[in-house]
Amino acid sequence: MTYQFDFAALLPYWPEFVHGLWLTLQLSAMATVLGFIVGTLCAIGRADGPPAVKWAVAAYVEVIRNTPLLVQIFLVYFGIATLGFRIGANTAAVAALVVNVGAYTCEIVRAGLESVHKAQLEAADCLGLSRVQTYWHVVLRPAVERVYPALTSQYVLLMLASSITSQISAEELTAVANRVQSDTFRSFETYIVVGLLYLLLSFVVRIAFWLVGLGVFVRRRKLGTAL
């Protein structure tokens, strides 16, 4: 085996890599925030909603968890176009990722909600808190704190899975890599670099989640104990 590595051939493309990296980060961040909101609302709907909502959420979760992400991305991208709306590939990518990760978030957060004892809800009710206030102040924070490691892993996976949106020519990191390797014919080097960049991104996402956790879970930060 006498393969000659030539990473220098990639050097002229560094601004594109940076651009791709940045876009991947943006896509992931948006999908994370929106997906968390969608997933959490679904989890509450499934745990505490009227029967129609419970069924709708259950159907959504099962459909998403049992179909490939790539198919979902195509469905969102071409589906929206067929309906007559013109949206960019990046927007479609975020939409598809939100739909996807929302379903997984729903299941994780639901486990968290179930861990909150009914007596907590009763205590909040007896103090006069409304349903919304109870969820916001009493239920969500302990629920999310308990499943936070699982959520973190899920959103790292989401960031990695965003590479698939290169298939609808969203301009993220993997799409950049595809173009660079077809220009330079240095496929191996290109994907080594991209792999390392994803590793870096994973690290960044984990750090970000850790920092958010420190800010939100004050009790845990101060006492260091599990809830």
Partner 1 sequence: MSAVANPTRAAREDTPRSPQAGAPVVRLHDVHKSFGALKVLDGVSLDVGPGEVAAIIGQSGSGKSTALRCINALETIQQGTIHVCGHAIHDPQLDRRALRRDVGIVFQSYNLFPHLTAEQNIMLAPTCVKGMTKAQARELAREVLSHVGLAEKAEHYPEQLSGGQQQRVAIARSLAMRPKLMLFDEVTSALDPQLTGEVLKVMENLAREGMTMILVTHEMAFARKVASKVVYMHRGRVWETGTGAMLDDPQTPELRAFIGNGL
User: Quick one: which of 133, 153, 182, 187 contacts partner 1 (CB under 8 A)?
Assistant: 133
CB of 67 to partner 1, least distance (A): 36
Please identify, using beta-carbon distances, which residue of 50 and 128 lies nearer to partner 1: 128
Q: Which of 148, 112, 133, 127 is nearest to 221 (CA)?
A: 148
Instruction: Number of residues interacting with partner 1: please give it, by CB under 8 A.
Output: 25
CB of 115 to partner 1, least distance (A): 11
Sign (positive or negative) of CA dihedral 122, 132, 94, 15? negative
Contacts with partner 1 in 135-154 (CB under 8 A)? 137-138, 141-142, 145
Element containing residue 41 per DSSP (H, E): helix 14-48
Verify binding: residue 213, partner 1, rule CB under 8 A. Answer: no
CB of 85 to partner 1, least distance (A): 41
Q: Which amino acid is at 227?
A: L
Element containing residue 173 per DSSP (H, E): helix 173-184
Contacts with partner 1 in 56-95 (CB under 8 A)? none
Verify binding: residue 125, partner 1, rule CB under 8 A. Answer: yes
Verify binding: residue 128, partner 1, rule CB under 8 A. Answer: yes
The tokens 């651009």 sit on which residue? 19
Verify binding: residue 48, partner 1, rule CB under 8 A. Answer: no
User: Quick one: which of 6, 62, 114, 122 contacts partner 1 (CB under 8 A)?
Assistant: 122
Verify binding: residue 224, partner 1, rule CB under 8 A. Answer: no
CB of 65 to partner 1, least distance (A): 30
Please identify, using beta-carbon distances, which residue of 8 and 126 lies nearer to partner 1: 126
Q: Which of 106, 97, 100 is nearest to 58 (CA)?
A: 106
List, as own/partner pairs, every contact residues 17-20 make where C-beta atoms lie below 8 angstroms and the sequence separation is at least 24, other chains included. Answer: 17/173, 17/176, 17/177, 17/180, 17/193, 17/194, 17/197, 19/171, 19/176, 20/171, 20/172, 20/173, 20/174, 20/175, 20/176, 20/177
Do residues 167 and 178 lie in contact, with contact meaning Cβ atoms separated by under 8 Å?
Answer: no
d(C-alpha 167, C-alpha 185), whole Å: 20
Please identify, using beta-carbon distances, which residue of 191 and 217 lies nearer to partner 1: 217
Please identify, using beta-carbon distances, which residue of 13 and 135 lies nearer to partner 1: 135
What is the contact surface with partner 1 in residues (CB under 8 A)? 117, 119-120, 122-130, 133, 137-138, 141-142, 145, 217-219, 222-223, 225, 227
